[in-house]
Amino acid sequence: MDSHKKLGLIGRNISYSFSKKFFENKFQKLMLKDFSYDIFDLKEINEVEDLFSKPGLLGFNVTIPYKEKIIDYLDELSEEAQKIGAVNCVLIQNGKKTGYNTDAVGFEKTLLLHRKPHQNSALILGNGGAAKAVKYALDKNGIPSKTISRNSEINFKNLDKETVENHKIIVQCTPVGTFPNVDDCLDFPFNGITKDHLIIDLIYNPNYTQFIIKASEKGAKTVNGYYMLEQQAEKAWEIWNFQKK
């Protein structure tokens, strides 16, 4: 029997993948010859059905735009994934498919590393799967937050300087400004940002989005999504491997 273990990433139009590089480096470091990590670019979520029948598939990561849509195809959800309503890591064990959310842990670690005590309320920009994980982590740490999206009560059209001034943590969870569209930036009242702010942009490619550049010009502490990405990947690795013992 083939002992080859397959992992991978599902998403749409994945031009560049941190995960593939990250896990291939890990296999090399740990001298794991029987592991591979592939990119599964799906035009539609229902194509995941074919993927499930792949022999040796241990699990996969999930990225935009399938973190919420994948849920209908799974047998079970971890407690976090259930509460968040988004999945970025799937474990397949004896044919059973379980969804986890490791974004929340990754974000929480980033937040706790950089947050100062006076930074005690947050604005979450966007309302996709990543934004849901961010909200979960903020709630868990007792930090009140408001979500800003196109259709929310406070949206990108009416968000004002005062609201930004009064929320010292700003988390940018939309894909706006991601490679290759590095010149794009959310419409945002940057004049409300001060040196007392912590700005976390979940994008990691490019390192410095237009959003981060504009916020740092106001003296804010800025952080990109790289550490969160590393931490969520480590957590996924734990899920895929710890379960087999």
User: Which sequence positions are flagged as catalytic?
Assistant: 67
**Please, are residues 118 and 169 in contact by the beta-carbon 8 Å criterion?**
no
Distances, alpha carbon 221 to alpha carbons 8, 127, 186, 195, in Å:
34, 23, 18, 7
Instruction: Give me the sign of the Cα torsion angle 233, 204, 131, 52.
Output: negative
Distance CA 187, CA 156 (A): 6
Q: Is 37:23 a contact under the CB 8 Å cutoff?
A: yes
Tokens of 22: 């990250």
- Tokens representing 198 are 């912590």
By three-state DSSP, how is residue 204 classified?
coil
Distance CA 38, CA 27 (A): 13
Q: What is the DSSP letter of 57?
A: B
Contact partners, residue 119, CB within 8 Å, separation at least 6: 168, 169, 196, 197, 198
Concatenated DSSP letters of 125-171: E--SHHHHHHHHHHHHTT--EEEEBSSSSSBTTT--HHHHHH--EEE
